[in-house]
Amino acid sequence: MKKLIFAICVLLCGACLAAAGLSFRPDIYYTQKEPLAVPAHTYEAWLRLPKDFRGRGGSIAGNYDMSSFSVVYEVHAEGHPRLYIEGKGHRQANITFKSINAATGKFLHMAITLDEEKHEAKCYINGKLRETLTEVPMYTETKPLSEFETVQPNIPLVIGGDKRFGNGAYFHGQLLSVAEFSTVRSEKEIRSDMYDPDPKDPGLLFYYDLRKSDGKDVIEDLAGNYPLYHEPNPYFIQPEDTWVEEKDVDNSPIAWSMAFLGDTQVLNDVYPDKFHLLMDGILAKKDEYNIKYVMGLGDITNRNLPREWELAKEQYDRLTGVIPWGVVIGNHDGSKEYNAAFGTPEYRASCDGFFEEGKIDNSYRFLTAGQNKYIIFTLEYGPRDEVMEWAGKLIDEHPECKAVITTHNYLFRDGTTMDEKDSYPPTICGGRPNNGDHMWDKFVRKHRTIQLVICGHDPFDMVVCRQEKGDAGNMVTALLIDPQSTDAVRKGVCLICFLGFSGDGKKAYVRYWSADQKKYYIRANQYGIDLE
């Protein structure tokens, strides 16, 4: 009889509240202001997704922005409940309940518990246990949950979304309530939580009743810990500002330019038939932008496969004898394969020197353009101290040259130099000796003539710019250019960053252009920089 009464209550609750759920949009955040004080072990929500929703249902509560200590409670593809957790050393756990489809078109209560002591994760639908997991994918391997450690999020959670650029993982249905507990709730406790969670329960981290909260600036946390703020998403791009026609770009006078190709790994691996468009676009724009140099920023390949190297070499070779070019090595690129593909006599002849005999990983070139002379470096991923000392000595020996440093990793998407708290820093991802913050402190800030540092590695839709004064008072401008996620989401748009310069070299102009769409990508990516 109790089971029957409970089932009727579930049906009645879903019916009477069907029109009262809170819906979400990518341009709006419902965000906490502070990260959780302790990690959660139980995740609960009343939700509704359209019946048989095939795509990703979206985040119920998440803080994922590709930085450390991220947790996303969500409905993934095919309606599968999921916990995605990224913890220490960027260890990832993908806890997906594939026997469950939460996309029913009706309101239901979904709960996930993560029990570290018993090494198991459980999913409950409408208060009943539906699936138990004892092994989950970590990285690309499936491992027992005994090897996993729950993490405490280090940035605030978003309800109905997460911290990704554009909030693209927003929840595509409605939520009635969301709650998280520090404790592992039992089946009996979860059934009790469904209708009346006890705000005074010591394990309750937060509880939001969202039925009548749409439009409110602040949503009360009934546990009294983490009020929810309703505010615009500062990173949302209006559709009309995504693709910009040539006539709508401010074409300030450009005397000459360099072209930069951020990580081509997705394009090379997934959309190889489009790779040639990059060189087509550069050659087509050669005279318009007066391109003096082309530089690839690493992760030339995705899986370091022979076919990827063959394609990359074939396409870069099209520039030989037409426009000077270079490529830096990324963490996805094997040094042996990189040197075999590009360490040709023609490429070596285009360089003025190398750090190591027989290897092209670290090189430099001189370039005269406009009214200035430049010394351009390609440095290895997470460069060694001795590599930076070598480059620094050359810079000081040529004070008449402005120095341009190209390397695979330097900036993070938030505009700070990459450190160990950020996503996949070299010291963790690849065991390299120096991150971006180390490069700044040991090398970049110390040399008066370093003007530019250009990198890739951290996928982002925006061309990120950071300006900071070095020890001698000189302005150092750094740019992050990495379209790998843009290529993945938009199916290979072949983005090229043209960096134009005024004749005196004091001004620079960013133009981010798609060789696939023949348009500029995101209005805010077309901007000017005062280099001094």
Q: 207, 232, 257: which is the final residue of a domain?
A: 232
Kindly report the CATH number assigned to the domain that includes residue 329: 3.60.21.10
Half-sphere exposure for 432 (CA within 13 Å, toward CB)? 28
Is 88 a residue whose pLDDT tops 80?
A: no
Structure confidence at residue 236 (pLDDT): 80
Structure confidence at residue 339 (pLDDT): 97
pLDDT (tens digit per residue) in 138-165: 755 677 877 777 777 778 999 999 877 6
Whether 3 maps to a domain, the answer reads: no
Structure confidence at residue 90 (pLDDT): 57
Across all residues in the chain, what is the average pLDDT? 90
Give Cα 465 to chain centroid, integer Å.
16
Give Cα 8 to chain centroid, integer Å.
44
Is 442 a residue whose pLDDT tops 50?
A: yes
Whether 91 maps to a domain, the answer reads: yes
Whether 1 maps to a domain, the answer reads: no
Q: 232, 255, 276: which is the final residue of a domain?
A: 232
Concatenated DSSP letters for 212-273?
T-TT-SEE--TTSS--EEEEE-TT---GGGTEE-GGGS-----SEEEEEE---HHHHHH-GG
Kindly report the CATH number assigned to the domain that includes residue 118: 2.60.120.200
Mean pLDDT check: name the lowest of 91-95, 116-120, 506-510, 527-531.
Answer: 91-95
354 and 497 both lie in a single domain: yes
Whether 78 maps to a domain, the answer reads: yes
Structure confidence at residue 202 (pLDDT): 95
Fill in the DSSP letter of residue 21: P
Task: Give the pLDDT band (50/70/90) at residue 489.
Answer: confident
Give how many domains the chain has, as a whole number: 2
Alpha-carbon distance of 72 to 112, in angstroms, equals 12
3-state secondary structure string across 393-430: HHHHHCCCEEEEEEECCCECCCCCECCCCCCCCCCCCC
262 and 202 both lie in a single domain: no
Is 33 a residue whose pLDDT tops 60?
A: yes
457 and 501 both lie in a single domain: yes
364 and 509 both lie in a single domain: yes
Is 19 a residue whose pLDDT tops 70?
A: no
Structure confidence at residue 163 (pLDDT): 79
Whether 7 maps to a domain, the answer reads: no
Structure tokens of 437?
Answer: 């913050």
257 and 159 both lie in a single domain: no
499 and 364 both lie in a single domain: yes
Under 8 Å CB-to-CB from 201, ≥6 apart: which residues? 181, 223
433 and 519 both lie in a single domain: yes
67 and 165 both lie in a single domain: yes
pLDDT (tens digit per residue) in 102-145: 999 999 999 999 998 899 999 999 999 999 999 887 755 677 87
Question: Across residues 241-266, what is the average pLDDT?
Answer: 91
Q: 201, 232, 263: which is the final residue of a domain?
A: 232
Question: Across residues 158-187, what is the average pLDDT?
Answer: 90
Half-sphere exposure for 467 (CA within 13 Å, toward CB)? 9
Structure confidence at residue 68 (pLDDT): 58
133 and 200 both lie in a single domain: yes
Structure confidence at residue 426 (pLDDT): 94
**What single-letter amino acid sits at 150?**
T
Whether 425 maps to a domain, the answer reads: yes
pLDDT (tens digit per residue) in 39-53: 999 999 999 999 988
Structure confidence at residue 10 (pLDDT): 43
Question: Across residues 234-254, what is the average pLDDT?
Answer: 84
247 and 222 both lie in a single domain: no
Is 15 a residue whose pLDDT tops 60?
A: no
Question: Across residues 299-326, what is the average pLDDT?
Answer: 97
Whether 47 maps to a domain, the answer reads: yes
The set of long-range contacts for 346-355, using a CB threshold of 8 Å and a minimum separation of 24, is 346/320, 350/324, 350/325, 350/326, 351/326, 353/394, 355/387, 355/390, 355/391
Largest CA distance in the chain: 88
Mean pLDDT check: name the lowest of 6-20, 128-142, 152-166, 287-301.
Answer: 6-20
208 and 249 both lie in a single domain: no
Task: Give the pLDDT band (50/70/90) at residue 166.
Answer: low
323 and 218 both lie in a single domain: no
Whether 2 maps to a domain, the answer reads: no
Residue-range definition of the domain harbouring residue 140:
14-232
Is 303 a residue whose pLDDT tops 90?
A: yes
